[in-house]
Amino acid sequence: MKRRQILKRWRLPLVSLLIVLPFAFWKPEFGKKALFLLGENILVVLGILPPVFILLGLFDVWIPRERVAPHMGEDSGVKGTVLSVVLGACSAGPLYIAFPVAEVMIRKGTSLRNIFVFIGAWSTMRIPMILFEIQNLGAVFGLTRYFVSLVGILLMALLMDRVLNTAEKTEIIARFQEE
């Protein structure tokens, strides 16, 4: 029983390992480079995660649900959507940090639709990134991509909200509500 739990918990890295191992044997040279990169990446992530999680923990404890839900919850309307876009666009850091942030936002009553808007904005609308993009690829390229992406993010969040049925949604939300 215990062993099965451990296996379940570690199944993702195990599966990933099975995927990458053949490549490592196929081209050991690249495999070595990958291992080096892995070590480097683990160090980078270990450097970022502790403060992020501590901040999230503090947010979780100190900011009551009533302070967030009216602004970003089911009935927050356009204001909630705009706020989600702005929060995502003003963020910094890679997308994988957005997921734990989203978790705390869900726990504080943010609607799933706004969560998907937030994650979309985080992925493609970060302000420092678009400035850098314009610098390199030009304003026409950058701004077109930016605003077409914004339309896409809003559409996709709407669609996600429609396609996922109520059971799935409550399951996602329930997952974060344990305590």
Partner 1 sequence: MTWILYFLTGGFLVLSVLFSRENTKKALAKAWKSFINIVPAFLAVLLLVSFSVAFLPERVIASFIGEESGVLGQILASVLGSLTLIPGFIAFPMAKILVENGAGIAQMAVFVSTLMMVGVATAPLEASFFGWRATILRNGMAYFYSFVVGYAVWLTVAL
By CB under 8 A, the residues from 143 to 162 that bind partner 1 are: 144-145, 148-149, 152, 155-156, 159-160
For residue 73, the minimal CB distance to partner 1 (Å) is 18
Residue type, 43: L
Does residue 63 touch partner 1 according to CB under 8 A? no
Determine how many CB atoms are found less than 10 A away from the CB of residue 151. 9
Of 124, 173, 126, nearest to 153 (Cα)?
Answer: 124
Pick between residue 70 and residue 99 the one whose CB is nearest to partner 1: 99
Looking only at residues 106 through 145 of this chain, which bind partner 1 when binding is defined by CB under 8 A? 116, 119-120, 123-124, 129, 132-133, 135-138, 140-141, 144-145
Question: How many other CB atoms sit within 10 Å of the CB of residue 63?
Answer: 12
CA angle centred on 78, ends 77 and 81, rounded to 5°: 95
Residues 32-61 that bind partner 1 (CB under 8 A): 33-35, 37-38, 41-42, 45, 47-58, 60-61
Task: Report if residue 170 touches partner 1, rule: CB under 8 A.
Answer: no
Contact between 77 and partner 1 per CB under 8 A: no
- Which residue's CB is nearer to partner 1, number 37 or number 79? 37
Among residues 2, 3, 19, 174, the one that binds partner 1 under rule CB under 8 A: 19
Q: Which is nearer to partner 1, 50 or 77 (CB)?
A: 50
- Report long-range pairs for 165-170 (Cβ below 8 Å, ≥24 apart): 169/112
The 3-state DSSP class for residue 126 equals coil
Tokens of 19: 């995927």
3-state SS assignment for residue 10: coil
